[in-house]
Structure 1
Amino acid sequence: MDLIADCQFTPSPFYDERPDNEQVSLLVIHNISLPAGQYGTGDIKRLFTGTIDCNAHPSYHDLAGIKVSAHCVVYRTGEVEQFVPLTKRAWHAGLSVFQGRSRCNDYAIGIEMEGCDTEPFTDAQYQSLIGVTQKIIDSFPLITAGRIIGHSDIAFGRKTDPGEFFDWCRYRKALSFGSKK
């Protein structure tokens, strides 16, 4: 599966091919808001498509020249927008290590939740995230319960997302593994 059904697809230029013979085996949950703590600005989309105005907000000056993407974003409304086909390598994890293996972008799918570390996510976001995740794990059988993690788990000390308000129990309880449809 490249594209998630029922999701808007907006192509990002910030992706490339996964290494030869690499299989998707990890799902990484992130959070993002631009500016920090503000929602619905459209700037996440602009960041992931390389069209963000770095003069639009003082905190954006550090974004100049940044090339970053995720496979998809789950907005506060529950809308899901996909930016990179799932079989391609999105640029979301940065310097990262999972179970002693580096370069997580090579084998991971990245999902951004519109939000921040200090606020709960919405019910609509959880519903959409659970639906998208179920489609992903049904299509990529190497993604097991233990291979769905937060950005903080692979970039320890460097990243904190999805943050303490992300309800891992609620999320994981709703998923079904081994239910090929």
Structure 2
Amino acid sequence: MQIDPSTGWCAEARRRPSPNCNARPEGEVSLLVIHNISLPPGQFGTGEVENLFLNRLDPQAHPYFAGIAGLRVSAHFLIERDGRLTQFVPCGARAWHAGVSCFEGREQCNDFSLGIELEGTDELPYSEAQYCVLVALTRALLRAYPGLAAERICGHSDIAPGRKSDPGPAFDWARYRRALAAEVVR
């Protein structure tokens, strides 16, 4: 997998540019945040996450959507259950994924982080395909952005404790970190 640092786009990802992004204040990329999302909650393969990130979510399509249809959110990447990779925001831009957040005493994590959404929930195991794509994508990001390092990868719950719980207990951090360590030594 390849990330072009000059454009911030992943060659292997399907591109669906989201309007929910803006310029990074310092241009820094030094944190990777892993999330989970499913729309409606607990349902997969609906295409509604993409609609949310593109401001096309129909508030009438599901009762849950009425409360979130006006949100302006995005992430850099989405990895669906079957491993399909979609990129919504180039890595050099600030996606709106972390919200109120803090990492190592530094607030506003969107300013310096990349966000990867896994289609899932806190409780359901993630798929083999998702782990494979996540590891390959993470390796590409680590190669493309020297400010990133294995110790600067965290969950949304780590930067917004008490407010967020994702990627949740179903995410196998040990498996993910072992797979990264198998080739990436920093």
TM-score tier (shorter): over 0.9
Aligned partners of 1:161 and 1:67: how far apart in 2?
19
Aligned residues: 178
Residue type of the alignment partner of 2:176: Y
Post-superposition Cα deviations, 1:29-85, rounded to whole Å, max 9, x if no partner, equal 000000000000000000000001011111111113210000010000001000000
The Cα of 1:95 is off from its aligned counterpart by 0.2
Residue 13 of structure 2 is aligned to residue 4 of structure 1: no
Q: Which residue in 2 is equivalent to 1:44?
A: 49
Q: Which residue in 1 is equivalent to 2:21?
A: 15
| Partner secondary structure for residue 71 of structure 2 | coil
Moved over 2 A (4+): 176-179
Aligned partners of 1:64 and 1:50: how far apart in 2?
8
| Partner secondary structure for residue 174 of structure 1 | helix
Q: Which residue in 2 is equivalent to 1:123?
A: 128
Residue 146 of structure 2 is aligned to residue 104 of structure 1: no
Q: Which residue in 2 is equivalent to 1:169?
A: 174
Residue type of the alignment partner of 1:82: Q
The Cα of 1:178 is off from its aligned counterpart by 5.0
CA contact (8 A) 2:52 2:69 kept: no
Q: Structure 1 regions of 5+ residues with no counterpart?
A: none
- The normalised TM-score by structure 2 is 0.93
Q: Which residue in 2 is equivalent to 1:137?
A: 142
Match of 2:60 among 51, 55, 59: 55
- The normalised TM-score by structure 1 is 0.96
CA contact (8 A) 2:37 2:49 kept: yes
Identity score, percent: 51
Aligned partners of 2:171 and 2:69: how far apart in 1?
29
CA contact (8 A) 2:59 2:66 kept: yes
Residue 71 of structure 2 is aligned to residue 73 of structure 1: no
Q: Structure 2 regions of 5+ residues with no counterpart?
A: none
- RMSD between aligned alpha carbons? 1.0
Aligned partners of 1:9 and 1:171: how far apart in 2?
25
Aligned partners of 1:163 and 1:10: how far apart in 2?
26
CA contact (8 A) 2:30 2:147 kept: yes
| Partner secondary structure for residue 81 of structure 1 | strand
Residue type of the alignment partner of 2:152: R
Residue type of the alignment partner of 1:12: S
CA contact (8 A) 1:141 1:178 kept: no
